[in-house]
A and B are shown apart, each in its own frame.
Chain A
Amino acid sequence: MAATAGGLDAVREFEASWRLLRTRKRWMTAGYGLLFAIALLVSAWVGEFDPVKLVQGLPRIHEYVAKTLPVLTLSNFWGDLAEWFYGLPRWLTLLWETILIAYIATLLGTIGALAMCFHAARNLALGKTSYWVTRRVFEVARTIPELVFALIFVFAFGIGPLAGILAIAIHSMGGSGKLFAEAVENIDMKPVDGLRATGANWVQTIRFAVLPQVLPNFTSFSLWRFEINVRSASIIGFVGAGGIGQEFYTAISRLYYEDISALIILMVFTVILIDMVCERIRHRLIGKEGFA
């Protein structure tokens, strides 16, 4: 009898605490929801997101896009196509230059990241100062957008691809450096201990115990970085730092409507092609599971 009463009490207690938990959870959800709604309203107000203006703008967007599309007639299809892509030889040269800018910037950025990432890894850092300094350098380099670096470098190195290359290189050094350091922090430390026991110095330890473990990851991160850098290289031309961006900027500001669509098609095609090739190589390097 007493046991049953105790059991009922337990059930009642359980239900009461469950109800309390549920109420608390509902209040929490309502609170976060309210916070989210306020943030949304403030954003809309500060961001001058006016639905009326948006609705008025929509037909103009449509108009603009329609203007950039060429007239392709069936009777003179190839002729129209040739007219649309009249600048193809020059554009292909510029695209090639854009890819080369991305290549050399990725190379420089990777070298920079490689040189510093072992200092920025907690398990291999030589001292607190070098760890702190390399971490901060990576953070600043990856937070400041490449276009801002490009603006400053155009002033220092003059208008042209060199400024763009250095801007993308610095930015990707920060991005790759962080990923590299994380990969180094996740290595198996046994080979490191083994090499240290043989009396190897820091550089030798890294060369023979760390590098063989992380090299496939590093290569695949760098390939991924290259894909990103091709995109970046296509816009740094907006501030005069080389590549196809300059041509695009001119087409937009001088209202060469049909050039705009032709250039976008070329850029998208290039980006997709490079992504596909790099993805193939990446999957071969580290297997599919590494990039869920």
Chain B
Amino acid sequence: MIRKLAFACLPALLLAGCQDPASTNQGSSRSEIRIVGSSTVFPFAKKVSEEFVNFDPERRSPILESTGTGGGIELFCSGVGANTPDIVNASRRMKKNEFDRCITNGVEEIVEVIIGFDGIALAQSKNGPKINLSVAEFYTALAAEPFGKGPNTTRRWPDINPALPDTRINIFGPPSTSGTRDALEEIIMEKGCKTDPAVGALADSDKDKFEEICHTVRTDQGYTDAGENDNLIVQKLSTNPDAVGIFSYSYLADNAETVRGIPINGVEPSYATIESGQYPGARTLFIYIKKKHVDVIPGLREFLAEYLRGGEPDGYLTRIGLISSPAKMRSEMLERIKSLPTLDGAVLE
């Protein structure tokens, strides 16, 4: 009988044994930095953590996980302690409701640092007729139902504005799984969509309807998914002078000999216009840090310094596509990672 009991208890004992590492881990500290968040910022964070370890091989490698901005903030806001991430990478600002969730879970002191920018560029072949678009015109060409007034019937650019060159609307862009697509919908399309006050008002009254109108890209021949490979879009543009391509700004900078940027609202995409915030197709990349983890998790301060160092105009992050922030903002951020001011929820939307 005792023997039978022993057999029955063995699995239970094993499971109980497994609890031990967790209970010792909780509360006590962790020796490496944990980072979660945006897939857009992921390659930058990877590079920074590699440099961070290379600088001093004695350091423990940070642990990065690409979870997407929303998923990352959820993990980040799940509490304070060794089992929660120290830093979340975000390709947009934290939202008010996310911040409130953080507060409810005891994550009260959050530090916000801007690491740089990421731009979405519209481009065309150098051989094509020059186009100059406003956000509203671009939105009208791209939306499935422009301003919620029935299906998109535009076929040629003059259907939108007679001043535009008389060529077929033929846009190559990222597929719906891509982060660039999210940025396209959230930055450019939303801006174009809000030029109609009636639709803009929907943003507060009926969020679902607003997103349906503003974030749905047409599926007819006007728009072609060109896959995740931005290089492919560049190639398609060079063989297709009438087409318009959408990709991350760094690709435009790399392929300046074959394609040129299309000005939006009269502003050409360039490092200068993105830095200054004039260009409508740029987004800010953030990282959020738990103040309570600083000086508890070893190396966190050094890691933040490394992050900002890589984002300098001639830093290694700008070489892989990050657009560094203006000098004034950089010095403010350097100050921020020293004094660690707490983010005020009131400034968030």
A binds B: no
Question: Which residue numbers of A lie inside 8 Å of B, CB to CB?
Answer: none
